[in-house]
Structures are given as structure tokens and as C-alpha cells.
Amino acid sequence: MSMTKATTNYPVADALIRLKNASAVYKQKTLVRKSKFILEILRVLKENNFIKDYKELADRPYEVLVYLNYKPGNPPVPKIEHVKFFSKPGRRWYVRVSDLKPVRSGYGIQIITTPKGVMTTQEAKKQNVGGELICEIW
């Protein structure tokens, strides 16, 4: 499993699309580029059961090994089926607490970065904070 040069100038998008594509072909694990922000997004995905786990590799300091999660079935259904990006390097998308809505009746999540850290929009609404809307996953 070798990591090729990223095809985008937005590492977050590259990492999430890698997860979606690996899930679509039923891989058990995949590599993504490592950054503090991506590690925070992976933490949120793990807390919300979209991935099983992630592990930083000692022999590959710029990569993270991510173990994917599936819903039971034959064939198993990927937990990450859809990724939609809101904020991009050229256009930031900020939202207020009053703008936060559920995703697919609670079956999906939106990831937001706030002054209190990276979290889902559900957590942001509980803590009464807005911020930069990164993406939507279901």
C-alpha cells in the first residue's frame, strides 16, 4: 500500500475521498495523509462510528492507517457512502448555531471547526457555537 502524490491542494478533501473510494471497493484499511486537522476529523469519524480506528505509523511519519467500518449485509454496506464539501481553500463556509440542521434525519453528520475544536454540528448545537462548516458525510 504505497501513497502516491495527492491530486488536490486540499488535503482534507483528498483524505475523505480516499476513505470513500476505499469503502466503495470494500477495503479493510487505507492510507491517508497526516496532519493535525485530519487527525481531528478522523477522531470525529471514529466517535461517530464511520471508521473503526486509525493508527499513526512509525515507519511512515506523514501517513495514517485508517481501518474502515461497514454495516452488516451481503455484501456489506459502506458507512461512508457520500461526502460533500462546503469549505474549500478558495471559499470558506461559515454557519451560525441557528443554521445547523440534521443530516439525512440523523443518519449522517456534518463536521464543523469551532473555537472549541473540531466536532459534529450536533455537538456544536449543544455547545451553542458556530464555525466553519467543513463537510457532510453519510
19 to 78, 113, 138: CA distances (angstroms): 10, 20, 12
* DSSP code string of 61-119: TTEEEEEE-EESSSSPEES---EEE--BTTB--EE-GGG---BGGGTBEEEEEETTEEE
- The burial of 119, by beta-carbon neighbours within 10 Å (0-12 exposed, 13-18 middle, 19 or more buried), is given as buried
Q: Could you report the per-residue pLDDT of 11-43, keeping only the tens digit for each? A: 999 999 999 999 999 999 999 999 999 999 999
CATH numbers and ranges of domains, the chain: 1-79 (3.30.1370.30), 82-138 (3.30.1490.10)
Read off the pLDDT of residues 71-125 as tens digits, 9 standing for 90 and up.
998 989 999 999 999 999 899 999 999 999 999 888 999 999 999 999 999 999 9
